[in-house]
Structure 1
Amino acid sequence: MASRDRSISSRHVEPGRAANVSTVSTIIPWLRYRNAFVAIDWLCSAFGFQPQFIQAEGHTVHHARLTCGDGMVMLGSADDGTESDRHMLQPDETGGRETQSCFVVVDDVDAHYAQAVDAGAEVVIPLSVQEHGMRSYACRDIEGHLWWFGCAIPRLEVAPAMHRFGALH
C-alpha cells in the first residue's frame, strides 16, 4: 500500500521542545513500520487505538503516539536514516520471530478478537484461556509485529518475595 501525505497534527511540537503530555504508563513500547501512515490507520481500525500525536514530514513519520485506554505505543517510520536503523530489524528480516511483543488489556476480548480478524490480523494463537488463567490471543499486524490482547490481568493471591529471586542466579 502506498502511504498518503498527511497534514501534521495541531499537537505538533517543534523539535527540541517538550510537549505538555500527561503520561500514565511509564513503559511505552516503540515500534517501527515501513509504511507508518498505513500502519497507524490499520492499528486504529483493527485494534481500536486512538492517534494522540503524529509528527511527520512527507512520507516519513518521525514520531507518533497511539493510545488504548491508559496505555500507549509510540511508532515511527523504519529505515528513516536515524540511529535506530542500526539497532532494530523488522519482523520480515527475522523470519517473523520477535524478541518482544506488546500485551494490551481490552474491555471485551471477544469483540476485539472479531474486530482484529475482520481487519485481516493474522492470528497466531487463537482466543482461549491461557495457562496463566487469562483469556487472550496473539496476532500479527500488517507488517508482522506480534501483539497479545486479553482481558484484565488477574491479581496474584500472594506477591512473590523478592529475596527468593536472588537464589535463582
Structure 2
Amino acid sequence: MTDAHVVSSAVELTVDPVTAFTAFTDEMDLWWVRGPINFWSDGGRVVEVRCERGVGGRVMEVLDDAVAGEVFELARITVWEPGARLAWASSVDDVETEIRFDPLDGGTRLTVEHRIPAGGRDKGGTAWGRVVPTWFAAWCAKRDRVPHEQIDIARLSLGISYARPAAAARWLAQAFGFEPMSDLPVGPDPLPEGEHGHPWIELRVGNAVLNVFKLDGERTEGARTHVPWVYVDDLEAHFARAKGGGATIVEEIHPYPGSSVYVTDDPEGNRWIFSQARPTMR
C-alpha cells in the first residue's frame, strides 16, 4: 500500500503565537497577495479572501455578487486552537493542511504541513505551503506600521521575455530591487516546462506586476518599441545600486520635464528608464 505524501514548509515570525494565529485567520484578506494567478475561482470576481472562525468554518473567496452572497469554498476548518494549531480539509482536492504556531524567543515558528492521501489529488491545496512563508511573514513584519487595507495590483502589468528568465529575475531583484513574490527559481535556465508551461516568475514594483517569461525564438534587433518607465523612492541610491549590480548605464541621471531620470540596459539588452517617485505613490 502506498503511503500518504507529506510536504511542509516553515518560517520564523517576529510576533507571538496568539498574534500570529489571529493575523493569519482574521487578517487573511490583508496578507493574501493579489496577483494574476493567486485565486482558485474567477480572479476577476474575487473581492475578499476570508477565514471563518471555529471548527466547521470556511476558508473561501468572496465573489462580487453581494446580493446572492456567492462564495467559492476552498476548505473547511477541522481544528481551531488559537495560538497553537489550525487545520482544514481542502474543498478543491484531497489535501489536508495543518498549521502549527510554536513559540520561539521573541516570536513564532509557523509550520505548514500538507498531507495528500495515497491516490489523492493535489489541485492547488499545497499552494499554501509555498506562499505562506513569504506572504504571511511579510505581513507580520509590517502590520503594526501600515494601514490595514487591501492593496490590489495596478491595472497595467508588464511581461518581459528573457533567454535566461531565472537568471534575469535574480538580477532584476538584486540590481533593480524589484520584489519577488516567491522564492526565485534555480536550476537549468530556461527552466523545464511543466503542465502549465514555463514556471511562473513574478516580481513587484510598488503595486505593479512584472512577469518574467521565457523568450520564444531569437531576440530581434532593431528599434525598441517598449521601454518600461519605473518610479523609485530614491533615484540616486537606485542608480548607484543598478550600476554596482552590473547594469549598462545608457544615460546618467539628468533632468527631464517634470522630474529627473536615468536610462539603463539589463544584461540581455532590455532598456529601462527610472525616475524619481512622488511621496504619494504606492
Q: CA deviation at 1:112?
A: 0.1
Deviation per CA, 1:18-39: give whole Å up to 9, x if none: 6789742111111001001100
Q: CA deviation at 1:125?
A: 1.6
After TM superposition, the score normalised by the length of structure 1 is: 0.65
Larger Rg: 2
After TM superposition, the score normalised by the length of structure 2 is: 0.41
Q: CA deviation at 1:117?
A: 0.4
State the alpha-carbon separation in 2 of the partners of residues 142 and 100 from structure 1. 17
State the alpha-carbon separation in 2 of the partners of residues 73 and 98 from structure 1. 18
Q: CA deviation at 1:109?
A: 0.4
Give the corresponding residue for 2:175.
Answer: 46
**Residue 138 of structure 1, aligned match among 242, 255, 263:** 263
Cα RMSD (Å): 3.5
Counterpart residue identity of residue 209, structure 2: M
Q: Secondary structure at the match of 1:126?
A: strand
Distance 1:33 1:23, change over 3 A: farther
Instruction: Name stretches of at least 5 consecutive residues in structure 1 with no aligned partner.
Output: 1-10, 80-84, 155-169
- Does residue 36 of structure 1 match 2:173? no
Give the corresponding residue for 2:244.
Answer: 118
State the alpha-carbon separation in 1 of the partners of residues 269 and 200 from structure 2. 20
Summarize the alignment of residues 59-138 of structure 1 with structure 2, pairs less than 5 Å apart.
59-60=191-192, 61-79=198-216, 90=219, 93-95=220-222, 97-130=223-256, 132-138=257-263
**Counterpart contact for 1:54–1:63, Cα < 8 Å:** no
**Counterpart contact for 2:170–2:184, Cα < 8 Å:** no
> Looking at both structures, which has the greater relative contact order when contacts are Cα pairs under 8 Å and sequence separation is at least 6?
1
Q: CA deviation at 1:103?
A: 0.9
Count of residue correspondences: 133
State the alpha-carbon separation in 2 of the partners of residues 53 and 17 from structure 1. 21
Give the corresponding residue for 1:166.
Answer: none
**Counterpart contact for 1:55–1:62, Cα < 8 Å:** no
Deviation per CA, 1:89-133: give whole Å up to 9, x if none: 63xx214x3101111110000000000000111111211111x12
Q: Which has the higher strand share?
A: 2
Deviation per CA, 1:62-111: give whole Å up to 9, x if none: 432100222221111112xxxxx6xxx63xx214x310111111000000
**Counterpart contact for 1:54–1:65, Cα < 8 Å:** no
**Counterpart contact for 1:109–1:150, Cα < 8 Å:** yes
Instruction: Name stretches of at least 5 consecutive residues in structure 2 with no aligned partner.
Output: 1-32, 50-150, 193-197
Distance 1:77 1:117, change over 3 A: same
Q: CA deviation at 1:134?
A: 1.1
Q: CA deviation at 1:55?
A: 9.4
Give the corresponding residue for 2:272.
Answer: 147
Counterpart residue identity of residue 110, structure 1: E
**Counterpart contact for 2:243–2:249, Cα < 8 Å:** yes
State the alpha-carbon separation in 1 of the partners of residues 247 and 200 from structure 2. 24
